Amino acid sequence: MTADQWVSFSRRGTAELVHLKGEIDLANANDIGRAIVARTTAAEAVLIDLTAVSFLDSAGVRLLDFIVGDLDDRGKPIRLVVGERGAARMTLQLCAFRADLLATDLDRAATELGG
Amino acid sequence: MSESGGPDVTQELRLPWDDDPEDLYEHAPCGYLTTLPDGTVVRVNETFLTWTGYSRADLIGHKRFRDLLTPGDQIYHETHYAPLLAMQGEVHEIALEVVGTDGRRLPTLVNSVLERGTTGAPRIIRTMVFNATERRSYERELLGARRAAESSEQRVQVLQQIVADLAAAPTEAEVAEAVVRAPEPAFQATSSSIYLVDAERDQLVAVASTDPTTGNWDDMPRSSTRAVAEVARRGDLHVIGTVADAEEHFPDLAESMRRSERRSVVLLPLTTGPSDEHAGVTVLGVLAFSFRDERTLTDGELRVIRLLGQQAGQALDRARLYDDARRREERSSFLARATRALDEEHRLLQRARRLVERAVPEIADWALVRLQVGPAGLVEHHGGPAPDPARLEARTAEAIETSAPVFAVDADGLGCTVLPLTVRGRVLGTFAVRMAPDRRGAEAERQFLIDLADRAALALENARLYEQERAIARTLQRSLLAADVPGTDPRFAVETHYQAAAQDMEVGGDWYDAFLITANKLAVVVGDVVGRGIEAATTMGQLRSAIRALASAEAGPARLLEGLDRFCDRVDSARMATLVYAEIDLFSSEMAYACAGHLPPLLHEPAGPPQYLLQARSAPLGSRAGDVRRVEHRQRLAAGSRLLLYTDGLIERRGRGIDRGFEILAREYARLRDAPLKGLTAGLAEILVGRDHGDDVCLLCLTLGTEERLERSIGADPLQIALLRADMRGWLAGHGVDTDCLNAVLLACSEAVANSIEHGYSDDPFGVVDVTATISPDTVEIRVSDHGRWRGARDDEARGRGLQLIYESMDDVSFDRDTEGTTVVMRRHRGQSSAGDL
Amino acid sequence: MPDNEGDVRNAPESYGYPDLASNRGHPGVRNIIRVQWEGRGAFPGRRVRAVRRNRMSTTVRNAVTITGNESGPPMLFAHGYGCDQNMWRFVTPAFEETHRIVLFDHVGNGRSDLSAYRDSRHGSLGGYAEDILDIVREHDLREVVFVGHSVSAMIGVLAAIREPERFAGIVMIGPSPRYINDETDGYVGGFTRADIDGLLESLDSNYLGWSATMAPVIMGNPERPELGTELTNSFCATDPEIARKFARVTFLSDNRADLPNLRVPSLILQCSDDVIAPEVVGEYVHKNTQDSTFVALNATGHCPNLSAPEETVDAIKSWL
């Protein structure tokens, strides 16, 4: 299965920008994770845009947790952009993701990473 | 005895039978020789001495018997006579010539006996020599006559055999084989070869030889100076008796005679036509045979040779006619078979593939079709090896440029013929084939290729047009079907499915549509236009638009059908289209429907089994024979009802009656009652028609109102969770649950189902998870049950996070796990929740 | 066409024996090499191609008989012109204890299959050498001691030049690389061309008698009446037609140029007073053949294996 329908990539300055959309759950999290890791293992900074995600379950959380851990280990910054409300924000908050990882505004997060 | 006392004359007489043995030996009427084992003469009689002129002293102790023989007989003595005598102890009637002192040769017949000593070692040889002068001359005559008779008899036999073989040989090749066999047995030729005239190419071709170990097998032009070509032109028998003769007339022949150690050669033209007048003959080939020694042919032999040339010529002529006829037949049969094979495929790519696969290996060892379609073009090839690409490119360009075939010719370095595929003056592409070299020149072959290219071009052009139309029709159909079906209204949900026929059929005229006539009135329709292809797709689009235009809050289904009947007067292709149309009042849940010649909708209300709606039936649109008094029927639908509209492709199946189709559909539909709406229509199509279906299938399923209670059973497959979520999302929204609560419940429910799949059914891919959702003004309650055996849930960190999410997002969670399985019951308050301040 | 009829001495081994039309009654048919027309159906594509023929077993073709010590090194005895394997009857017993004895008849002689005779193959000594190699290969003989009488000495030399790895040694009894004198270089072979014609005549003279005993051998085989009394010359039976051809090949060949190419040790047994292969010829062979041993026998004539078997055996044994 290809993850293309849920994930796409672009660059924002030095940061690798990952766009996620749709429902991320047990059925597709692994494929999405592989696609993201392939693009981010060597990235200087990573922005993951979750604003278009309509559902995020624990499998999705596990995937994000892994990527954050990987970036942290390498000393590279990462931000997860979520909306003010929405399914992704809810799930991440329920899982008590660190507040410094979450951002609500893509541009601001990009600037933070760039600076 | 005399008593008279006269002279006793008997004393004077020696009785003839009382001969002196010594005298008898010496004067016997044959020669006697006694020799040592090595042949040295030790005793010889007078008769032998008289015959030969030798004195006793010349021979005894000085000569061996073999020394008295001619040189040839000396060899014969040493190689035959002596070994035989040594082995058998005696030899009889060996013919040898003894040379006398005056050089005169005495033909003799010789018998010898070897006498062995007591030890068995050879002691002496006794030899008896008969004068055989007269007998030998008689024998020679006899031998000559016999040899002549034998060889002529043998020739006749061989010729008879050849003629029989020729008569039985249906092809040129077999005639050639029969002829090339003749010279060895008939004339003691050392070897022979046969050349046939290829009139098309104006060449002589070597086809068979009894000794092709080396040599030049190249084809030669009929105008060649080589001896074979010369004889073919002259048309009469040439006997080249010596290398010197050849030197004088045919230098090439002399050269090869020397090389292959031949001293005489016969070149026999194989002719057809009147045998007596030279002018009228046609030369069809040349039989060449040769001899290691100089050979003189007798008149009798020459007659037979000429006869052979005529017989062979006639057989060749017959075989050629036969070959021609058969080839013609094979060609037309090939064309017919190829055309039929192309017709079996509709698609362009498949047709192109068929074409090259037909051509190889039957007529060519490599074939390629190239079509100028689409941005990249289309190339199909078969066989191999592929020819030089640059040369092929050049020839292809030439064929396209000139719009005419470019035929392969000998030694053109490519060997491929390239034919333009032309339809109505337009070059669609090219067809390249590499045929066997001998097929290249023939005019009949060229015409055949042109025929083939014409047929292929037409077939490919039709396929291209078909392809084009199909693409347009599909695009059109897709664009129409994909148009916005309302999907966010919590009061209803629509699920559709369209499945094109598996075989490469033209696009059909099936369609579905769902739209809101007013804010509170929904219309759903499924229909089927007669015919296929772009016209059907267009008509479908027109009908679809017409329905949207005619539908109004006031009209109702019957009036709408009347409007469509009028529409058929203008759009004739819409005539006899069938459709089922329903309007649903979203306030009152009242449905009005009408069926114009279409299959009845299938309704499944929350209570009871599914039922076909058989009211409000009338004829297809614009029907002239049918009853077009349009009627409609109204009935209330219970909340949670599911209405299924479909086209005949769903239930009509070869080998299955339509009643049986209805039965199966109703049963399967009932079975899927608790399945999520999403994926339901695709699932039904899968079950009822499978993938190998011959017709388009179109389905529309409408779920009306909101069930009080959501009950779903899903398979233990992570992909199913999303389908469940879609249903539940609609259900929750339909009950006015606010977004935060909705998201939280979906999350908890998903996690609980994921738990069941991952742990409850970790070893059971066929497990089923039951989900029940109930709602009250205050609370949403979700119950997730499985019948699996949980394993390792507690120490799994990931699942731990799932459980954590369940606890976090719901207000009240309880697990009930026993040997039968696990049930999770989760509740969340509606509105502002205590669980998570989101 | 001579153009296409190459030197049969170099004919590749693959031209074995055809099974083509073998029952048609004329032996010449066996010589056919079919030039196949590919794709016989509608569209014959010609490629001049020789079909590989089925090989006849040498056991039948050459009437091969094998005796002696099965595990001993093989000795292959080849009879000379005019005879057959019977001519070794006084010699082979001396080797039966120690050697595997392989006897055979050249095609056209003795009990060989006459129908296997082919002008193209047997028109030169090379064809006979191929027959020898067929026997050696079929019975997988290695380290062969080849004993060849008369013309077979040369046939053995040709075979050993082609596949030297098969042969341990060549014994030549009365060899001659060329029987006819060569006036251009003064070579003395002992005969003139006219002498050989005389031999052919002699063969003809004895033809009636031979054909009487060899009744079924003539091609076409018409019923023939008995002529004269039946002869008892039952050994060394030869098809008269083939005998003539073999005589030609034997006495008109010139294999002098081949001798220096022999890489296998050889023994030359030279009789005294041998008109077929005089001493000067034997010496010529010795001089032009490397690693050759020359032994002059007391035996006279051309067949020491018959006239002086003990001396012949001793000479071979001491060389071995």
pLDDT at C20: 29
Looking at the structure of chain A, the number of domains it has is 1
Q: Which CATH number fits domain B148-326: 3.30.70.1450, 2.40.160.40, 3.30.450.40, 3.40.1280.10?
A: 3.30.450.40
Q: What does the pLDDT average to over B224-237? A: 88
Mean pLDDT of B777-791: 84
pLDDT band at B836 (very low <50, low <70, confident <90, very high): very low
Tell whether the model's pLDDT for residue B292 goes beyond 80. yes
C-beta separation of B509 from B530 below 8 A: yes
> What residues of chain A lie within 8 A of the CB of B802, using their CB?
57-58
Q: Is residue A96 part of a domain?
A: yes
Tokens 């109930």 belong to B774
The secondary structure of B54-92, three-state, reads: CCHHHHCCCCEHHHHECHHHHHHHHHHHHHHHHHHCEEE
Do B148-326 and B16-131 have the same topology in CATH? Answer: yes
- What distance in Å separates residue A46's CA from the closest CA in chain B? 24
Q: Which is higher by pLDDT, C129 or A98?
A: C129
Angstrom distance (rounded) from CA B755 to CA B345: 50
Q: How far is C3 from chain B (nearest CA, A)?
A: 5
Which pair of structure tokens corresponds to residue A76?
A: 């590279």
Q: What number of helices (H) and strands (E) belong to chain C?
A: 10, 9
**Per-residue pLDDT at B453 exceeds 80:** yes
Q: How many CB pairs under 8 A join A and B?
A: 73
Query: Would the pLDDT of B146 be above 70?
Result: no
Q: Write the pLDDT tens digit of every residue in B361-389.
A: 888 889 999 988 777 778 888 988 888 88
Residues of C in contact with B213 (CB under 8 A): 5-8, 10-12, 15, 120
pLDDT tops 90 at residue C104: yes
Averaged pLDDT score across all residues of chain B: 83
Q: Is residue A101 assigned to a domain?
A: yes
Specify whether C150 is catalytic: yes
The yes-or-no verdict on residue C284 having pLDDT over 60 is yes
Residue bearing the bigger pLDDT, B794 or B331: B331
Q: Which domain holds residue A49?
A: 7-114
State how far the Cα of C110 lies from the Cα of A35, in Å rounded to an integer: 87
Alpha helices in C185-303 (DSSP H): 193-205, 207-213, 240-252, 279-288
Interface test with B, best of A21, A25, A50 (most B CBs within 10 A): A25
pLDDT of residue C287: 93
Structure tokens at B555: 């009209």
Sorted by where each begins, the domain ranges of chain B are 16-131, 148-326, 368-406+417-434+441-458, 486-705, 710-829
Q: Does B802 touch chain A (CB under 8 A)?
A: yes
CB atoms within 10 A of CB A111: 12
Q: What class does CATH assign to B16-131?
A: alpha beta
Q: How many residues does chain C have?
A: 320
Six-digit token string for B545: 């638009």
Chain B environment of A86 (Cβ under 8 Å): 743
Judge: B184–C28 Cβ closer than 8 Å, yes or no: yes
Query: Using one digit for the tens of pLDDT, what is the confidence trace for B713-727?
Result: 888 888 888 888 888
Q: How far apart are CA B247 and CA B261, in angstroms?
A: 14
State pLDDT tens for residues C197-234: 887 777 776 654 443 333 332 222 233 333 222 333 45
With an 8 Å Cβ cutoff, are A90 and B725 in contact?
no
Q: Are C207 and B88 in contact (CB < 8 Å)?
A: no
Q: Does B39 reach chain C within 8 Å, measured CB to CB?
A: yes
Q: Tell me whether residue A1 is in a domain.
A: no
Which ipTM value was assigned to this complex? 0.86
Q: Which pairs from B445-449 meet CB under 8 Å and 24+ separation?
A: B446/B405, B446/B407, B448/B331, B448/B334, B448/B335, B449/B405, B449/B407, B449/B417, B449/B419
Average pLDDT value for chain C: 74
Q: What single letter denotes the amino acid at residue B204?
A: L
Q: How far is C7 from chain B (nearest CA, A)?
A: 5
Residues of A whose CB is below 8 A from B719: 27
Partner-chain contact A90 B758, CB within 8 Å = no
Count CB atoms within 10 A of the CB of residue C49. 14
Measured N-to-C along each axis, helices C125-138 and C240-252 cross at an angle, to the nearest 10 degrees, of 110
CA distance B492 to B571: 33
Q: Give the type of residue at C156.
A: G
β-bridge pairing B31-35 and B122-131? antiparallel
Contact assessment for residue B87 and residue B122, using Cβ atoms and an 8 Å cutoff: no
Largest Cα–Cα distance in chain C? 72
CB proximity A91 to B under 8 Å: yes
Q: Hey, what amino acid is at C149?
A: H
pLDDT value at residue B266 = 92
Examine the pLDDT at B185 and tell me if it is beyond 80.
Answer: no
Please report, in angstroms and rounded to a whole number, the separation of the first and last CA atoms in chain B: 178
B663: which residues sit within 8 A by CB, 6+ positions away?
none
Q: Does B139 touch chain C (CB under 8 A)?
A: yes
Shortest Cα distance, chain C CAs vs residue B14, angstroms? 36
* CA C101 to chain CA mean position, Å: 17
pLDDT of residue B10: 54
CA distances (Å), C202 to each of B79, B136, C30, C244, in order? 12, 12, 29, 10
In the structure encoding, which two tokens stand for residue B278, read together?
Answer: 């030279």
Angstrom distance (rounded) from CA B37 to CA C106 = 28
Chains that touch B (3 or more CB pairs under 8 A): A, C
* Nearest residue of chain C to residue B98 (CA atoms): C202
Give the chain C residue whose CA is nearest to the CA of B207.
C35
Catalytic residue, from C115, C150, C253, C266: name it. C150
Residue B216 CB coordination number (10 Å) = 12
Going along chain C from its start, the domains and CATH numbers come out as: 2-50 (no CATH), 58-185+247-319 (3.40.50.1820)
Comparing CA positions, the residue from B695, B385, B652, B641 lying closest to residue B532 is B695
At B584 the pLDDT is: 92
Does the distance separating the beta carbons of B209 and C4 come in below 8 Å? yes
Which run of H or E residues covers position C63?
A: none
Label residue B485 exposed, middle or buried (CB < 10 Å: 0-12, 13-18, 19+). middle
Q: For residues C176 and C154, give the distance between their C-alpha atoms in angstroms, rounded to a whole number.
A: 7
* Percent of chain B residues past pLDDT 70, beyond the cut: 89
Name the strands in the sheet holding A78-81, side by side, starting at the edge strand that comes first in the sequence: A7-12, A15-24, A45-56, A78-81, A102-103
What residue type is assigned to position B487 of the chain?
A: G
Residues in A closer than 8 angstroms to B758, CB to CB, are 26
Known catalytic residue: C99?
Answer: no
The answer to whether residue A2 is domain-embedded is no
Nearest beta carbon to residue A55 from set B725, B740, B799: B725
CB atoms within 10 A of CB B640: 20
- Residue C14: pLDDT band (50, 70, 90) is very low
Angle between helices B133-168 and C193-205 (to 10 degrees): 90
Q: Work out the pLDDT band at B9, boundaries 50, 70, 90.
A: low
How far apart are alpha carbons B41 and B63 in whole angstroms?
6
* Distance of alpha carbon B400 from alpha carbon B117, whole angstroms: 100
Q: What pLDDT does residue B782 have?
A: 93
Q: Is residue A104 part of a domain?
A: yes
Nearest chain B alpha carbon to A58: B802
| Cα Rg, chain B, nearest whole Å | 54
> The tokens 């969340």 sit on which residue?
B828
The total of other beta-carbon atoms located within 10 Å of residue B575's CB is 18
Tell me what percent of the residues of chain B surpass a pLDDT of 90: 16
Amino acid in position B46: E
Chains B and A touch (3+ CB pairs under 8 A): yes
> C37 exposed, middle or buried (CB, 10 Å; 0-12, 13-18, 19+)?
buried
Helix, strand, coil shares, percent, chain A, to 5:
40, 30, 30
The whole-angstrom distance between A55's CA and the closest CA on chain B is 8
Bridge-based pairing of strands C167-173 and C266-272 is parallel
Helices and strands (H and E) in chain A: how many: 4, 5
- Is residue B696 predicted with pLDDT exceeding 90? no
Q: The CATH number of the domain where A11 resides is what?
A: 3.30.750.24
Residue A65, C-beta contacts closer than 8 angstroms, at least 6 positions apart: none
Amino acid sitting at position C170: I
What kind and span of H or E run contains B143?
Answer: helix B133-168
Dig out the tokens for B689 from the structure: 């028609």
Q: Which residues contact A33 (CB under 8 A, 6 or more apart)?
A: A63, A66, A67
| Count of Cβ atoms closer than 10 Å to residue B118 Cβ | 6
Helix, strand or coil, per DSSP, at residue C43: coil
Q: Residues of A with CB below 8 A from B751's CB?
A: 57-58
- Of B708, B706, B781, the C-alpha closest to B749 is B781
Place of tokens 């079906």: B485
CB atoms within 10 A of CB C135: 23
Please tell me the predicted confidence (pLDDT) of residue C149: 92
Q: Hey, what are B190's tokens? A: 């050392």
Q: Which of C84, C113, C131, C274 is catalytic?
A: C274
b/e per residue, B157-187, with b = 16+ CB within 10 A? bbbebbbebbeebebbbbbbbbbbbbbbbbb
Give the nearest partner residue to A94 out of B721, B799, B805, using CB atoms. B805
Q: How confident is the model at residue C5 (pLDDT cuts 50, 70, 90)?
A: very low
Do A58 and B721 make contact, defined as CB atoms within 8 angstroms? no
Is C122 part of the annotated catalytic residue set?
A: no
Residue B494 C-alpha, separation from nearest chain A C-alpha, in angstroms: 20
Binned at pLDDT 50, 70 and 90, residue B783 comes out as: very high
Topology (CATH) of B486-705: Phosphatase 2c; domain 1 (3.60.40)
CA distance B614 to B204: 84
**Range B710-829 classified under CATH 3.40.50.2000:** no
